[in-house]
Amino acid sequence: MQNRQNIYQHLLFIAGLCTLFSCTQKPKHNLQSKADSIKKRIVKEWNKTIPGSFSDQTKATFDSTQIVTFLKKYPAFGAYANDINSFYSKRKFAYAWYANDVLIEQAGNLTDRLSNLQNEGIYKAIPYPKSLDSLIFDAQPKDKPAKTNITAELMLTAQYFVFSKVAFQGMSDSVTRSVNWYLPRKKVSYNDYLDSLLKKTGKPGSNLSEPVYRQYDLLKNFLAKYRQLDATEKWTPIVPGKKLVPGDSAAVISLIKKRLYKLEDFKGDTLNNVYDDELKSAFRQFQIRHGLTADGLAGTGTINELNVPLKNRIRQIMVNMERCRWLPVSLNTDYLAVNIPEFKLHVYHADSLLWSCNVVVGQKVHQTVIFYGVMQYVVFSPYWNLPESIIRNEVLPAIKRNPNYVNEHNMIITGKENGLPVIKQKPGPANSLGLVKFLFPNSYSIYLHDTPSKSLFGESSRAFSHGCIRVGEPAKLASFLLKYDTTWTAAKISKAMHLGKEQQITLKQKVPVFIAYFTAFTDRNNKLNFRKDIYNRDDQLASMILSGKGSY
């Protein structure tokens, strides 16, 4: 048993890189084809394999027919037959997990991670776990010389491809479609990655960058912390009994401080039962992490978030770890990312967050779609082409009540289509799209735009739109997107926004746009954040994960 413990002693360490209703915009066919072309080029970049380098051992080899024999004995690995054959063909059938007849350290690393898949937020059982365990144990005999074992060798390689599938790639495309996730899935050659893996030392600090989005490893660390808390804490609901205000003294305040301390928001004296400045500061940090108004006060919403059971948080973390498996590992360019539950637009260059701003997303009945596009145009002083759903459900009833409704709202009727009037709103400060819109042609008719309703950006929950995304800092976004054209100064942008005449600008540099849905994530200060599941999408995915029956 001691030998078995020895072989499990090291883990691989990950270096990790630390919105159906909508506002209508009918893209022209040639614009859509351009977007598709750009999208294909970007996806091609993601699909580049991770460079591999063959491991050193070349002397010990085996006959290729051994793979056929192995797969007959262990048919559950049949789906990986091509991967296994391709991997060993490139190695000229040299053993990969042995050096000088002894299993290399990576064998223990892989076996350990396969035995502890729940640490990865995975409840899927691997095939033949007992056989794997026995083969690894027997590979280190105490009373006779070690020697290569072809079954152990092929078992490790097959299990590596199983691990790659569940841990690095995640559930199947059918699952992502069932939870309305239309971002493109990453593709990685795990065959080549295995070569790279075997070349690493597997020791702490070995700088092995695994093919998962950088948030994955950060969430994985918090998953371990929350599981430890759940194992040691009862997490009994805190009931203040009365509204607490700064300066109050009560026994429940000490309980609140202890809980905030365990959640790493409070760092002071947990025995002190005074609502002091330290507690107020801790409340603010906790509120920021949970998307609440950061006033430092013990309001009902804050106390409710403090009382969320740890098992709920653990489930929330695992769901978002699975979503991380679906995203591209990294993107070495400018790009925009909207996180719907966070109500935020983030502007990136590669892994560097340049700036963020508040956004308004679709209501629950008009959900913003989760998808990907390519930003191509900025439209100043835009017309708003009202979608049929809004004309039918809102404008026509309003016209019946007030025949002058169209004129009063600076709208014009330009024709008739599908039995409904075609209505557009003229440019101006009262236009529902505001003074500028940002187009990335897509089949969902979703885009980013300004809004005259600025007060909504001050709300902590900002799901008010018909599906499109309202941007809190539109002039700043326009400046960012037009930065490759030096003629577009801040003054020129402001003038175009207020001109009252529609002007469409084609971007010199197209920019990828990701509309995503994360209810748990880490921020740039490595603080764990939670957000409300505003579209109720977590539970379905959680049930598939926890049952272990999700399609992989």
CA pair distance 190, 192, nearest whole angstrom: 5
Residue given tokens 């024709």 in the structure block:
415
Pairing of strands 411-417, 528-530: unpaired
CA pair distance 144, 102, nearest whole angstrom: 12
DSSP state of 171: S
State the burial class of residue 266 (Cβ atoms within 10 Å of its Cβ: 0-12, 13-18, 19+): buried
Asked if 520 and 316 count as a contact pair (C-beta separation under 8 A), the reply is: yes
Q: Which two tokens stand for residue 539?
A: 């539970």
Give the count of beta carbons closer than 10 Å to the beta carbon of residue 57.
17
Half-sphere exposure of 142 (CA within 13 A, CB side): 5
Q: Among 292, 225, 231, 295, which Cα is nearest to 262's?
A: 225
Contacts of residue 397, defined as CB under 8 A and 6 or more positions apart, other chains included, come to none
Q: Among 316, 326, 324, which Cα is nearest to 546's?
A: 316
State the burial class of residue 264 (Cβ atoms within 10 Å of its Cβ: 0-12, 13-18, 19+): middle
Residues recognised as catalytic: 449, 468
Compute and round to an integer the Cα radius of gyration of the chain: 28
Q: Among 67, 156, 75, 70, which Cα is nearest to 114's?
A: 156
Sign, CA dihedral 180-182-183-184, equals positive
Q: Which two tokens stand for residue 550?
A: 């999700």
Pairing of strands 420-425, 411-417: antiparallel
CA pair distance 21, 466, nearest whole angstrom: 6
Residue 500's DSSP bridge partners are none
CA pair distance 541, 486, nearest whole angstrom: 46
Backbone region of residue 315 per phi and psi (left: phi > 0; alpha: psi in -120 to 50; beta: other values): alpha
- Residue 450 one-letter amino acid: D
Contacts of residue 166, defined as CB under 8 A and 6 or more positions apart, other chains included, come to 117, 120, 122, 124, 552
CA pair distance 288, 293, nearest whole angstrom: 7
Q: Would you call 435 helix, strand, or coil by DSSP?
A: coil
Distances in whole angstroms, Cα of residue 410 to Cα of each of 384, 501, 540: 11, 14, 44
Pairing of strands 334-339, 436-439: unpaired
